[in-house]
Structure 1
């Protein structure tokens, strides 16, 4: 299923090493969380596997593979578009800290507004860092427990991730709702635009605010989000001026466990349950590869 979408040759280095062998090495590292240097010899040189994973994380190959698998499932009617949204915190290992800053030439390109950087430069660690450098720029946050990051995801009704966003651990869930919804993009195998709008959305109280509800109303998406107790009290104090309460379907809200089960599935991969990647875009590629395996195994 994935072979037609993988690159055939490299203009500077000749043919790629066998993709199946390399992807098996990446899967082994995803499952065990071992160091790249500790990969068994049957997968080939660990440097090749590591660089291939960094390159595919930088140029969006993992994301394209995930969208292709989702498109095949959608063409067969296998996606339940009653989606659920949540986030989970990930403990970052101390080896995930200390990512080098981008070089002076890359910083100059970013200063001049040249955001297009070659995939080879990105794989070497020259990826543009959103919001500046440092731990925050690599989706790392600090708390009493140490370094943490957070995975925001939307899952379909069959416990499979549809979209993923990685942020520092202290970032609030509601701030990533719109970016997460905008990343839902399931292409059509034939003619037509990609599907971007689900049938309904379900989330917990962390996503209960006026901005999110207005965003869903503008797009015509039915939603089930419980009202916060302080919001309810303020509405009741205002009487008739407080407006009507938000619609809440208890039966639909019971299906929110599908996103919790999707988080449980994705955390079965030890390289996801504990973050070892220094770069934020590499860890996002790791999480995307794990989501791709969930789809393939379903």
Structure 2
């Protein structure tokens, strides 16, 4: 898995297209592996016609919440998984605020935290 690490005060929407370009092929079915998802779910921070057009041009259907509208878009069902993952990573104080200057050290702590979270989840299910 590849990470795209950017500065702390960067707008997320600037990394949308590079993120989509780095999606690895999905294996498992016969034929050529898929390179892109069918749909993209995003919050209001990605609400811009320029990026909607770019995502559609790649053959991906964007479901991006609109600014100024109520929360009844239904995107919360899918976003909750991401919010929960970020909350789990915030258990680790060192990841809450990035203190490391070097990217590789920060990435190592991030991977270690993910491994600990997975281990704790498996242990709570009695699988470890």
Task: Give me the TM-score of the superposition, normalised by structure 2.
Answer: 0.69
Match in the other structure for 2:76: 254
Superposition pairs of residues 224-263 of structure 1, within 5 angstroms: 224-229=63-68, 250-251=73-74, 253-255=75-77, 256-263=79-86
Task: Give me the TM-score of the superposition, normalised by structure 1.
Answer: 0.34
Shift of 1:272: 1.6
Match in the other structure for 1:184: 23
Match in the other structure for 2:92: 269
169 and 276 in structure 1: CA distance in 2 versus 1, 3 angstrom threshold: closer
Q: Which of the two has greater strand per residue? A: 1
Shift of 1:207: 0.6
Q: Is the 8 A contact 1:164 1:288 kept in 2?
A: no
The count of corresponding residues between Structure 1 and Structure 2 is 118
Shift of 1:176: 0.8
Gaps of 5+ in 1: 1-62, 64-162, 233-248
Q: Distance in 2 between matches of 1:292 and 1:193?
A: 31
Q: Is the 8 A contact 2:38 2:59 kept in 1?
A: no
Rg larger in structure = 1
Q: CA RMSD in A?
A: 3.0
Gaps of 5+ in 2: 123-128
Match in the other structure for 2:41: 202
Match in the other structure for 1:171: 10
Deviations 1:150-196 (A, max 9, x none): xxxxxxxxxxxxx6432112211110111222232255368765543
Relative contact order, higher structure (CA 8 A, sep 6+): 1
